[in-house]
Each structure stands twice: as structure tokens, then as C-alpha cells.
Amino acid sequence: MSLKFRLNLLITLLSLAFILVVGSILVNDTRTSIRERVEAASRVTVQLLDTVIVSSALNPEYGQTDRVLQSFLQSLGYVRSSHIELYDISGNLLYVSPSSSYKTDVHAPSWFAKLVQPPVETVERKIRYGTLVVSSSAAGSIREAWSGFRQLMWVGLFFFILLNLMVYALLSHSLKPIKPILASINRMERGDLTTRLPTFALPEFNRIGHSLNRMAESLAMERQLEENRQLTQLIQAHIEDERRSLARELHDELGQYVTAIKTFAVAIANKAKEKSPDIAANAQTIVSAANQIYEGMHSIIRQLRPGALDNLGLSETLRDAINYWRKSHANVRFDLKLSGHLDVLGESLNINIYRIVQESINNALKHAQATSIEVALSGLKAELSLIIKDNGLGMNLAAVDQTQHFGLLGIRERVQGFHGSFNLVSEPNQGTAIHITIPRST
């Protein structure tokens, strides 16, 4: 059942209810009016005939009362709203009043007559040599009332039909925007987010159209953002693969060459130690340089891809990284807290958590001048919680454009790629805290 049909049906039912209420009021008023009219006419008729009866009794020379009254009634003719019968002493009918000739062409239906007809009142007078019977008669008043009521019914029916036609036409015109709105919603459901609604004349539908257009734009932007996030994850995955491959090659290829150089230099130094001290000293310099290259290479490998992540898991990798930072930054206090099941997160989440911690600590060391850094990672059943705090310089978030801080932007993108939440809390000279929550379902 369409909205237009329901509204039209509601208007029709309300109109019918209004007509019935008005009709019942009119019928009730008509019944009261007819009753008062008939009762008044009957009283006047009875008083008039009583006057004639009394006058006849006081003046015997006029003749017998029944004859006098008969003569008077015959000259009187029809009396409104009264039916008069005169009987002689033997019960023979001497006179009966004629019927009303008013609107004889009008025939009120029986249901209407039953609704408005008042109870019949009969007055009987015993007179000399006869009986007078006066009964109330509402036939003429009923025909008159039906004539007016019928006109009102036709007028009401005309306006009822006219009202329904106007309401139907108005609803058809007013609800016309619903069809394109529903069509646009269906296209959006099927994935077509390019659909847009035009401007409508009615302000309510116009607001709905603007809201749907804004929703479509938001959904399109969200879809584009999700596609960009998926592309970012794909790029990050390829980058991590390249880093893993490069770290392996550095370790396997360059590490062997550096080890070979160091071995040869040690052998040269040992052989030339007695005969050529200068050559031995130069060989030791080569050994020292090889050691520095080896350490630098391992530092680069650690930055490219921590080997412990593939072999020992996230927890041991974080511990190993924190120990490395403790050694390289002796003046900074590091605190690592791990809880829950952290070694069953999957390779993608492992490397992203590690990169987030790595980027956050590097920012705290390079830019915040922190002397204390705390890392707390908790693996709950429903979510993964990561908190990184430092006591560095901090920043005024209201005055800082975070989109220009690529480290923070990269962390945010990594978190949003797993449908997590990223919250940065910082104040000048109060340090910085990063709160990250990632659902475990991802």
C-alpha cells in the first residue's frame, strides 16, 4: 500500500467521519425542531378547539356542540401539524381533517422519518353528543426537513468528491519526488555513488535530497579513502618485502664480503707483524674499518627488517629493539610493558606494530628531546592496545597541522588501515602520549 493511497484513504476516512458527525448533529437538531414545532402547533390547536367547545356550551342557541364543532372544523380545514377527528355519541365519524398538501411531491425515506419523528401525542375531549380527538402529525415537517437535508447531502457529497480529487491531485504532485529519491537510494545500494538528486520545490524533500547527496559524497569519499588505504597497505607490504629482501642480501652478500675482508686483513696483520710493522698497522686499520662497516650494516639491517620478527615473534623483537635503543641512548630511560598474547597477531599486524613503535621512539628521540619513553602493549581478547609516552617537549595540537607531520600521518594511516583508533595527547613541555586501539577481529 503506497504512501499516497494511505494518505488519501486517511483524508477520505476523516472526511466521512466529519460528514457523519455533522449529519448526526443536523438530524438531532431537526428532530428537536420538529418536536417543538409539532408540540407548539398541537397546543395551539387544542386551545383553539377548547375555546370553540366552551363557547358552544355557553351559548346553547348555537346548537349541539358536536354540530357546531363540525361546522367550525369544516370551515377551518387543514391545521398544521395536527390530525383532528370528530365522532358523534354513537362513535360514528363526523369529521376528519384533510392531510397536509405541503411538499406532497417529496417522499422522505423511512429511516429518516424514524430518526426525526417525535412521539405522537393524542388529546381527547368529551363534548356534548360526541368525542373530539386531536393527534400530533409531523408528516409535513418531516417532508420539509428531508427536502433541506437532501440538499445538504448533495452539497456535502459534491464537496466530498471534490475534496478527495483535490487531495489526490495534491498528493500526486507533492509526493512526486519520492520516486526519484527511492530510485537514487536503490542505485546507492547497488554501489552507484555518483547518483545525485535535483533540487525539489518542497523544502522537506529538498532537505532530504541535499542530505542524500551529502551522504553519497561522504560514502564516495569513504570508499575512495578505503581504496587508498588498501593501496597503502599493498604498497607497505611490497615495501616490507623489498626491505626483507634487501636486508637478506645485505646480510648474506655484503656480510660475507666484510667478513672476508676482515679475515684477510687479520691474516696480513699477523704475517707482517714482525717484518713490516707499517703493513701490519694498515691491516689493523682495515680490520677496524671492517668492524665499523659490519656494525653499520647490522644497524641498517635492523632498520630495514628486524630478523627477530620472523624468527622469535613480536614480543622478543620489541625487547631486542628496546635493548638496542638503551645501548645507543644511554641517557634515556626506556620502559617496555608487554601483556597478553602478542605472538599470534599475524605478520602484517606484527610489522605494522613494530613500525609504529619504531617511528614513535625515533620522533621522541630526534624531535622531542625526551629523557624517558614508555611503551605498553596489551593483547586483549577483543582488541590490541598500544600506548607510547614520553616526557619530551610536547606540542600545541591546536596550532599544529598534523597532516604535515608525516611520521604521525604514517602512524595514523597504519592504524586506520586496521580499522583502529588513533589518539594523540600532547601539551607544550608536558610530553606526548599516543593511544592506539586495534580490533582483534582484523
Angle at 101 between CA 100 and CA 105, to 5 degrees: 120
Among the ranges given (143-152, 171-180, 402-411), the one the predictor scored with the smallest mean pLDDT: 402-411
Buried b (16+ CB within 10 A) or exposed e, 13-23: eebeeebeeee
Asked if pLDDT for residue 405 goes beyond 70, the answer is: no
Residue 109, SS3 per DSSP: coil
What is the residue-averaged pLDDT of the chain? Answer: 83
**With 0-12 CB in 10 A as exposed, 13-18 as middle and 19+ as buried, what is 364?**
buried
Domains identified in the chain and CATH numbers: 3-173 (no CATH), 316-442 (3.30.565.10)
Separation CA 46–CA 220 (nearest Å):
93
Residue 25, SS3 per DSSP: helix
Angle at 304 between CA 302 and CA 305, to 5 degrees: 70
Percent of the chain with pLDDT over 90: 7
Q: What is the mean pLDDT of residues 401-415?
A: 73
Asked if pLDDT for residue 275 goes beyond 90, the answer is: no
Q: How many CB atoms lie within 10 A of CB 340?
A: 15
Sign of CA dihedral 98, 102, 106, 108: negative
Residue 249, SS3 per DSSP: helix
- Return the pLDDT at 355: 86
Separation CA 350–CA 306 (nearest Å):
11
**Where residue 442 falls among pLDDT bands split at 50, 70, 90?**
very low
Asked if pLDDT for residue 402 goes beyond 60, the answer is: no
pLDDT in tens, 182-220: 888 888 878 777 788 888 777 877 888 888 888 888 877
DSSP 268-321: HHHHHHHH-HHHHHHHHHHHHHHHHHHHHHHHHHHHH--HHHHHT-HHHHHHHH
pTM to 2 decimal places: 0.49
